């Protein structure tokens, strides 16, 4: 990303605050003139006192002069204080507003992205978070530095330089000549540091991602006693990061020293030059001070120049990450515009699907699922069953082939509308931090307490909720797995979709919990189009149609008895499931 690009991209975020920006700029302009007053007053004082001493006058004769100088200096400080306050405050306000907008924009933006964005390896949650945080903080720092710190200094510098030229062309020229040298050094510094910064960003991303995955895997780490191993892995990262940081610092300090030297060199030349003019009688003695103070004003922002280079470079690298995320048009979820009435007949024609990492999860899948019927997807793990549901919900688009819902191509249907008609129950349903009522209410924003309770009753969880002292205000995350599943089903009753996808809804539950949620599952399945993935024999046998998948393909389709008699894949899977139950022994016990 180039600087012009950076400014072009940042402009839309600054645009809404144009009045604030103009106020800041106006104050900066006033401030830059006020900043030169000291130089003028010093020259005026030295020259006048000098004249008084040469005329052998006493303090009494200089009293008017002192009063005048004091009044001007105090008056200037007063103005300067007000201007600085306004300038800093408006600048800060600008920074805070822009930071808020950047953060809000990216959240709204990534919410609109398709599923593949979230599952891409470079967008693992820790990495994404770091990239967003760094992008926002360095962009806002850039805005702040620019408007609060750097711009006033540069304005001072330009005004001071103009005064220097106005007072003496040659002295002005010396002041001006220093600038390109500084720019050159700062640019060199920035270029040398760029590589280190980029590396640092990767280290930081890996580091925060590393800690997140450490916490996620802590049970396994501890049970295998791999703490030293994990610590060592982390140490390597820390050490490389430290080394990189040290090199960055070392380089910065070298450049800082060089710049300090060049600046002092400028001061020396100004002293020599002005002294020469004074001795020649072309300048008053006060003018030496005048020029030194002005030159200080000229070089002050230049001392900060590497900082702005640093900030801009940080921003160039980090903002790239931010804008890349905000602007990935290709990630925006595709939506059609049709909103047909939906019965729930799905038809797949020659559907192939590859995940972003290249895994082909579906191969030439063609099949139909009838409305108001229960279709069970059966197959070994990895066969492509969940993928199929992901495609029907438009979380992903087929790589080739078509999917139709009631005769309309799925890609032409409004995605939001489609999803409002589909309910999804997963192996582990997400329970948000919050109360039971809030979690059920997520199914229909603005649902009344009565509606929430009705839904809970339909999902057979109401009685249990009422047993806990806080009732519907209990924290939902405290509930057991089976109870959480029923909360998720209650949520679906509120949503009341025509189509239900159940992806191993009982897989994580023990037998008793499975038995308990069976009633809620039966209730939610009633009068809807249901597609169920399950390893539970009872749920499979009940289905109106069974689709057997193997390695991304549909290999068999039909009713339980027919499929079993075929002695194919279904027969094998079913027999394995039945054997694992040890039915003979169970039967004996039950008898």
* Nearest residue (CB) to ligand ADP, 171 versus 365: 365
- H helical segments located in 459-582: 462-467, 481-495, 511-525, 537-541, 560-565, 569-581
* Nearest residue (CB) to ligand ADP, 2 versus 357: 357
Stretch binding ligand ADP (CB under 6 A), from 46-54, 91-99, 296-304, 357-365: 357-365
Q: Work out the angle at residue 126's Cα, subtended by the Cα atoms of residues 124 and 128, and round it to the nearest 5 degrees.
A: 65
- Among residues 250, 330, 359, 477, the one that binds ligand ADP under rule CB under 6 A: 359
Rule CB under 6 A: say whether 87 interacts with ligand ADP.
no
Alpha-carbon distance 45 to 284, whole Å?
11
* Nearest residue (CB) to ligand ADP, 153 versus 361: 361
Rule CB under 6 A: say whether 136 interacts with ligand ADP.
no
* Nearest residue (CB) to ligand ADP, 186 versus 386: 386
Q: How many CA atoms lie within 13 A of 46 on its CB side?
A: 14
Burial 382-407 (b: 16+ CB within 10 A, else e): ebbbbbbbbbbbbbbbbeebebbbee
Map residue 334 onto helix, strand or coil: coil
Phi-psi region of 368 (alpha: psi -120 to 50; beta: other; left: phi over 0): beta
- Among residues 9, 119, 420, 475, the one that binds ligand ADP under rule CB under 6 A: 119
Rule CB under 6 A: say whether 385 interacts with ligand ADP.
yes
Rule CB under 6 A: say whether 361 interacts with ligand ADP.
yes
Query: β-pairing, 360-369 with 400-405?
Result: unpaired
Rule CB under 6 A: say whether 506 interacts with ligand ADP.
no
* Nearest residue (CB) to ligand ADP, 378 versus 509: 378
How does DSSP classify residue 333? P
Alpha-carbon distance 186 to 180, whole Å?
10
Q: Which residue is associated with the tokens 């969940």?
A: 386
Smallest distance, ligand ADP to C-beta of residue 534, A: 11
Rule CB under 6 A: say whether 382 interacts with ligand ADP.
yes
Rule CB under 6 A: say whether 384 interacts with ligand ADP.
yes
Stretch binding ligand ADP (CB under 6 A), from 158-166, 210-218, 297-305, 381-389: 381-389
Rule CB under 6 A: say whether 357 interacts with ligand ADP.
yes
Per-residue binder mask for ligand ADP (CB under 6 A), 314-353, x = binder: ----------------------------------------
Between helices 511-525 and 481-495, what is the axis angle to 10°?
Answer: 10
> How many residues line the site for ligand ADP (CB under 6 A)?
13
Alpha-carbon distance 366 to 457, whole Å?
39
* Nearest residue (CB) to ligand ADP, 385 versus 394: 385
Rule CB under 6 A: say whether 355 interacts with ligand ADP.
yes
* Nearest residue (CB) to ligand ADP, 97 versus 118: 118
Length of the chain counted residue by residue: 591
- Among residues 23, 151, 383, 563, the one that binds ligand ADP under rule CB under 6 A: 383
E strand intervals along 330-383: 346-354, 360-369, 374-379
- Among residues 248, 274, 299, 387, the one that binds ligand ADP under rule CB under 6 A: 387
Stretch binding ligand ADP (CB under 6 A), from 6-14, 226-234, 286-294, 356-364: 356-364
Q: Residue 491: which residues within 8 A CB-CB, separation 6 or more?
A: 439, 440, 441, 442, 443, 455
- Among residues 32, 386, 506, 514, the one that binds ligand ADP under rule CB under 6 A: 386
**Footprint of ligand ADP (CB under 6 A):** 119, 355, 357, 359, 361, 379, 381-387
């Amino acid at each position: 990303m180039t600087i012009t690009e950076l400014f072009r991209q940042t402009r839309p975020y600054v645009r809404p605050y144009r009045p604030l920006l103009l106020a800041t700029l106006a104050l900066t302009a006033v401030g830059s003139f006020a900043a030169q007053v000291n130089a003028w007053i010093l020259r005026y004082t030295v020259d006048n006192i000098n004249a008084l001493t040469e005329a052998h006058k006493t303090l009494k004769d200089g009293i008017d002069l002192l009063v005048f100088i004091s009044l001007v200096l105090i008056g200037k400080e007063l103005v300067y204080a007000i201007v600085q306050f306004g300038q800093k405050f408006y600048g800060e306000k600008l920074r805070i507003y822009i930071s808020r907008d950047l953060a809000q924009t990216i959240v709204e933006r990534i919410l609109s992205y398709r599923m593949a964005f979230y599952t891409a390896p470079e967008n693992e949650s820790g990495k994404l978070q770091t990239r967003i945080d760094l992008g926002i903080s360095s962009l806002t720092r850039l805005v702040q530095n620019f408007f609060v710190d750097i711009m006033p200094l540069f304005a001072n510098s330009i005004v001071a330089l103009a005064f220097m030229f106005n007072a003496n062309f040659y002295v002005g020229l010396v002041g001006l000549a220093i600038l390109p040298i500084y720019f050159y050094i700062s640019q060199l510094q920035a270029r040398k540091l760029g590589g280190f910064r980029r590396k640092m960003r990767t280290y930081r991303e890996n580091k925060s991602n590393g800690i997140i995955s450490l916490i996620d895997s802590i049970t396994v780490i501890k049970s295998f006693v791999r703490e030293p191993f994990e610590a060592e892995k982390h140490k390597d990262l820390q050490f490389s990061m430290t080394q990189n940081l040290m090199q960055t610092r070392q380089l910065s300090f070298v450049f800082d020293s060089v710049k300090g030297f060049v600046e002092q060199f400028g001061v020396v030349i100004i002293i020599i030059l002005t002294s020469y003019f004074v001795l020649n009688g072309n300048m008053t003695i006060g003018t030496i001070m005048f020029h030194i103070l002005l030159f200080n004003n000229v070089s002050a922002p230049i001392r900060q120049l590497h900082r702005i280079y640093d900030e801009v470079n940080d921003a160039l690298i980090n903002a790239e990450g931010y804008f890349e995320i905000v602007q990935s048009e290709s990630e925006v979820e595709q939506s059609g515009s049709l909103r047909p009435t939906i019965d729930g007949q799905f038809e797949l024609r020659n559907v192939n699907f590859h995940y972003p990492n290249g895994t082909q999860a579906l191969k030439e899948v063609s099949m139909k699922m009838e409305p108001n019927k229960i279709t069970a997807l059966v197959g070994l793990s990895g066969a492509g069953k969940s993928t199929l549901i992901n495609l029907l919900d438009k979380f992903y688009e087929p790589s080739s082939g078509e999917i139709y819902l009631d005769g309309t191509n799925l890609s032409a249907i409004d995605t939001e509308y489609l999803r409002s008609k589909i309910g999804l129950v997963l192996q582990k349903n997400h329970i948000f931090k919050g109360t039971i009522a809030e979690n059920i209410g997520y199914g229909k924003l603005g649902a009344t307490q009565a509606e929430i309770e009705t839904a809970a009753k339909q999902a057979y969880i109401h009685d249990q909720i009422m047993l806990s002292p806080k009732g519907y205000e209990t924290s939902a995350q405290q509930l057991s797995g089976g109870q959480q599943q029923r909360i998720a089903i209650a949520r679906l009753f509120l949503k009341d979709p025509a189509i239900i996808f159940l992806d191993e809804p009982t897989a994580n539950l023990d037998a008793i919990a499975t038995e308990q949620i069976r009633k809620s599952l039966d209730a939610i399945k009633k009068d809807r189009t249901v597609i169920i993935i399950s390893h539970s024999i009872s749920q499979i046998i009940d289905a109106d149609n069974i689709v057997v998948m193997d390695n991304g393909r549909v290999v068999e389709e039909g009713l339980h008895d027919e499929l079993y008699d075929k002695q194919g894949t279904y027969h094998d899977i079913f027999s394995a499931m039945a054997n694992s139950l040890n039915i003979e022994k169970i039967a004996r016990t039950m008898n």
